[in-house]
Structure 1
Amino acid sequence: MDGNRRYAKLRGHKAVWGHWKGATTWLNLIDWWSYFNSSEKQEVKYMTLWALSKENLQRNPEELAGLFAVLTVTFRSIAFTASIHRSQIRVRFIGALTGLPQHVLGAINLLERETENYSRAVMLVAVGYGGRDEVLRAVQDVLDSGEDLNEESVSRKTFCSKLSIPPVDLIIRTSESRTSGFMLWDTQSTELHFLHDKLWPELTARDCIHAIESFASRERRGGK
């Protein structure tokens, strides 16, 4: 979900204004997803949104305070968003959550608790997430368990595997042409869809549908 700061700068506002606009897009996306799943024969059961990277935590204190406020309000809003409950979407969080402000952690706990009994669809929210950090954590978990270190054992320790979620099928990235290390281990056969001319707050339902249609038209051989 990239481009909030640039969106704000182009309109003469501070970065946090762009993050608020990005949060609105996020809430809209949940509604689009809910509508898509209710109207199409084939559902999109899993969605992951990268809300805050580990590198983002190095930003200046003023912007971070604004970001944390946006996340807190957004998480609380999602907890009581009608489409989340109507579509029975469970929300789970991944990433390095320790060290986040208490008000952010409280909102995370609220959102997970309000949706913990749902299973029709799953929305992962990556906060304090880094691709290399995830791989290092997985390797350390293997070593701590005393298992042999190999591809199979590491695969069992990734966030996706721990939450019983399949590897990533499709990555959609706004305004950039790179993945920035997103889910390094579980994206070996992932398809990519870049929206070079769109900043995250400019994303539309049509953009999402086009990405899904593009994905559906591709021949996936998994390297075979």
Structure 2
Amino acid sequence: MDGNRRYAKLYGHKAVWGHWKGATTWLDLIEWWTYFNTNQSHQVNYTTFWALSKENLQRNPEELAGLFAVLTLTFRSIAFTASIHRSRVRVRFIGTNKGLPQHVIDAINLLEKKTESYSQAVMLVAVGYGGRDEVLSAVKDVIDSGEELNEENVSRRTFCSKIAVPPVDLVIRTSESRTSGFMLWDTQSTELHFIHDKLWPELSARDCMHALESFASRERRGGK
């Protein structure tokens, strides 16, 4: 979800206004995604939204306070969103709670609790997430277990693997042409789709459809 602050600056507002607009876009895309899955023969059963990176936690206190408020209210809103329950979407969080205020953690716990019995689709939310941190944590787990440090054992300890989510097929990124370390281990064969002319709050369902159409037209050989 990149470009909230730049979007706010374009309209002469503080960063928190951009984060609110970004949250609205996220809620709209959740509605589109759940509708898409009930009306298409090919479903997107797993989706991940990167809501907050580890690096974001180093921003100034005023912006962070506003951002934390946005996250708390958004997570609580999703917990009671009808389409999430109608489509039986389980919401899981990846990353770390370190540095998060208790009201954000409580909202995370509420959302996971409200959807824990569902299995029709999975929505991951990355909060306090860093790609290098994930790989280092997986490697440390292998070493601590006494197992051989190899690709297979590391692969079994990524966030996705731990909750039975397959590796990433497609990454959609607004306004930039980089992945910023997103899921470093589980994106080895990932297709990338960059939307350079839009910031996150400007993203639409049509943009996501174009990304899926582009993905469907690509020949994926996994290096073979």
Q: Does 1:22 align with 2:22?
A: yes
Q: Which residue of 1 aligns with 2:11?
A: 11
Q: Which residue of 2 aligns with 1:91?
A: 91
Alignment of 1:58-69 (within 5 A): 58-69=58-69
1:98 Cα offset (Å): 2.7
Q: Which residue of 2 aligns with 1:116?
A: 116
The root-mean-square deviation of aligned C-alpha atoms, in Å, is 0.5
**1:81 and 1:9 mapped to 2: Cα distance?**
30
1:203 Cα offset (Å): 0.6
Alignment of 1:54-203 (within 5 A): 54-203=54-203
User: Number of residue pairs matched?
Assistant: 224
1:41 Cα offset (Å): 0.2
**2:148 and 2:117 mapped to 1: Cα distance?**
35
Q: 2:48, 2:124 within 8 Å by CA — same for their partners in 1?
A: yes
Letter in 1 for 2:159: F
Deviations 1:21-76 (A, max 9, x none): 00000100110001100110011000000000000000000001111000000000
Letter in 2 for 1:186: D
1:99 Cα offset (Å): 3.1
Q: Which residue of 1 aligns with 2:205?
A: 205
Question: TM-score normalised to the size of structure 1?
Answer: 0.99
**2:20 and 2:31 mapped to 1: Cα distance?**
17
- Aligned-pair identity in percent equals 83
The structure 1 segments of at least 4 consecutive aligned residues displaced by more than 4 Å after TM superposition are: none
**1:87 and 1:25 mapped to 2: Cα distance?**
19
Letter in 1 for 2:61: P
Question: TM-score normalised to the size of structure 2?
Answer: 0.99
**1:194 and 1:215 mapped to 2: Cα distance?**
12
Q: Which residue of 2 aligns with 1:214?
A: 214
